């Protein structure tokens, strides 16, 4: 029974880590886009961005609170509209961060930042010269500033160190390895994996 509980515990941890890692990314290519929201009074409908249909009628204070960005990551679609990212440039050891709101999608696999945000992150002019910056990002609570909270999640390294390592069993069952491979290859989702393992534990 202890082995069975161990397997269930590890699948749960793996699923939590998979979800957490989807909330942030490192060394992502960020290009720029001239949304120029201040020139169009922060009107999403006028700008023609992807999220206009969902967020176009939000208040002016909501639309103008953060710089605009397009998200091209793992979950492109209406589900990311209106969410906020903390984007960080760590070039030459100088850390510069800006919070942006997702109003659009793109296909470059990274981020597309409004030119104003891009320039504020571009500490050394490298981005302007080469047309892109390599940045880190993480999803954050859009209200974190007003709530006085920490605008970000703990790092992936911190999460990994927080996982208890006592009693780790070196030999895992074939079923457990099969489920992990299936999750990694995106052939099954975590909920299905837990269901399968639950049936095995009965």
Q: Which residues pair with 105 in a beta bridge?
A: 71
What's the topology of domain 24-140?
Answer: Barwin-like endoglucanases (2.40.40)
3-state secondary structure 166-182: CCCCCCCCHHHHHHHHH
Whole-angstrom distance, CA of residue 170 vs CA of residue 189: 25
Instruction: Compute the average pLDDT of residues 11-29.
Output: 61
What contacts 201, CB < 8 A, 6 or more positions away?
4, 7, 8
pLDDT value at residue 186: 45
DSSP 4-36: HHHHHHHHHHHHHHHHHHTTEEEEEEEEEE---
Q: Note the pLDDT of residue 107.
A: 83
* Structure confidence at residue 193 as a pLDDT band (50, 70, 90): low
Q: Could you identify the residue written with the tokens 């169009």? A: 40
How do the domains of the chain map onto residue ranges? 24-140, 166-201
User: In this structure, what DSSP letter does residue 155 have?
Assistant: P
pLDDT digits 0-9 by tens, 41-56: 999 999 999 999 999 9
Predicted local distance difference test score (pLDDT) of residue 70: 96
Query: Cα–Cα distance between 100 and 27 in angstroms, integer?
Result: 17
pLDDT at 41: 95
Report pLDDT digits (tens) over 98-154. 999 999 998 878 999 999 999 999 999 999 999 999 999 999 999 865 555 445 443
Are the CB atoms for 31 and 71 separated by under 8 Å? no
Mean pLDDT for the chain?
A: 75
For residue 189, what pLDDT band results from cuts at 50, 70 and 90?
low
pLDDT interval class at 198 (50, 70, 90)? low
């Amino acid at each position: 029974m202890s082995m069975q509980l161990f397997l269930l515990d590890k699948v749960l941890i793996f699923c939590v880590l998979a979800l957490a890692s989807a909330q942030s990314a490192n060394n992502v290519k960020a290009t720029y886009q001239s949304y120029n929201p201040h020139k169009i009074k922060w009107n999403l409908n006028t700008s023609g961005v992807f999220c206009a249909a969902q967020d176009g009628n939000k208040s002016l204070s909501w639309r103008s609170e953060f710089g605009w960005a397009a998200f091209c990551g793992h979950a492109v679609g209406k589900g990311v509209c209106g969410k906020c990212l903390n984007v960080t440039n760590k070039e030459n050891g100088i850390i510069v961060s800006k919070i942006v709101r997702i109003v659009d999608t793109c296909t470059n696999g990274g981020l597309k930042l409004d030119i104003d945000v891009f320039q504020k992150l571009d500490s050394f002019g490298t981005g302007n010269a080469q047309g892109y910056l390599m940045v880190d990002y993480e999803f954050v609570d859009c209200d974190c500033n007003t709530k006085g909270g920490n605008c970000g999640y703990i790092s992936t390294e911190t999460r990994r160190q927080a996982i208890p390592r006592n009693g780790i069993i070196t030999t895992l069952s074939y079923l457990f390895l099969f489920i992990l491979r299936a999750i990694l290859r995106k052939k099954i989702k975590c909920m299905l994996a837990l269901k399968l393992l639950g049936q095995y534990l009965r």
